[in-house]
Amino acid sequence: MATFAGQYQATIDDKGRVVLPSAFKKAMGEMKLDFVVVERNRRSKCLDIHTVETWKKEVEKFRDKLNPETNPMHDKLLQLYFQNFVQIGVAANGRINIPNEFLEYAGLKDKVMFLGMQTSIRLSATAASAEKEVSDADYLDLLKMIDKKEE
């Protein structure tokens, strides 16, 4: 399984095409990279890019919590869940072509930021990334909160 880390800037052209950073292509190594799955991240108004293998595991975990055959609300939730994803082909050079509705959702044009999130890649507008910057002091406070929860 690929592990993604680091932050990289890139440019999206007017047709929604962007090339995955070489560090992320290298992290995927020998994985068959014909497709990736792009998700609308509802918590952060950005896009998350998953390998098909990772995405299938996440879907299985989610489906295991539901019983759509007998519970209409579970069926509706599953439908809403899958509306957040699109499978996209990957060109030999690592270029992906993101559908317009996904670009618009995340406000992606021109300059974008790729961020490795261990098992996925986050894609956000460069301006939005800058707005979310956290000071060192705030970051350390967040870490302390997590440490307190473990006690």
CATH code of the domain covering residue 76? 3.40.1550.20
Which positions of the chain have pLDDT values less than 50? Answer: none
- Predicted pLDDT of residue 56: 96
**In the prediction, which pLDDT does 42 show?**
94
Instruction: Answer whether residue 1 is part of any domain.
Output: no
Nearest to 121 by CA among 22, 13, 17: 22
Q: Is residue 86 part of a domain?
A: yes
Distance CA 50, CA 85 (A): 10
| pLDDT value at residue 137 | 86
pLDDT at residue 126, rounded to an integer: 85
Residues 93-134 have pLDDT tens digits of 899 999 999 999 999 999 999 999 999 999 999 865 555 677
Euclidean distance between CA atoms 135 and 59, whole angstroms: 35
pLDDT at 68: 93
Q: What is the pLDDT of residue 132?
A: 65
**pLDDT number for residue 127:** 62
| Domain residue limits at 34 | 7-150
**pLDDT computed for residue 151 by the predictor:** 52
What pLDDT score does 77 carry? 96
Closest CA to 36 of 17, 13, 52: 52
- Residue 134's pLDDT is what? 76
Contact 122, 24 (CB under 8 A): no
Predicted local confidence at residue 32, as pLDDT: 67
Answer yes or no: is 2 within a domain: no
Number of domains in the chain: 1
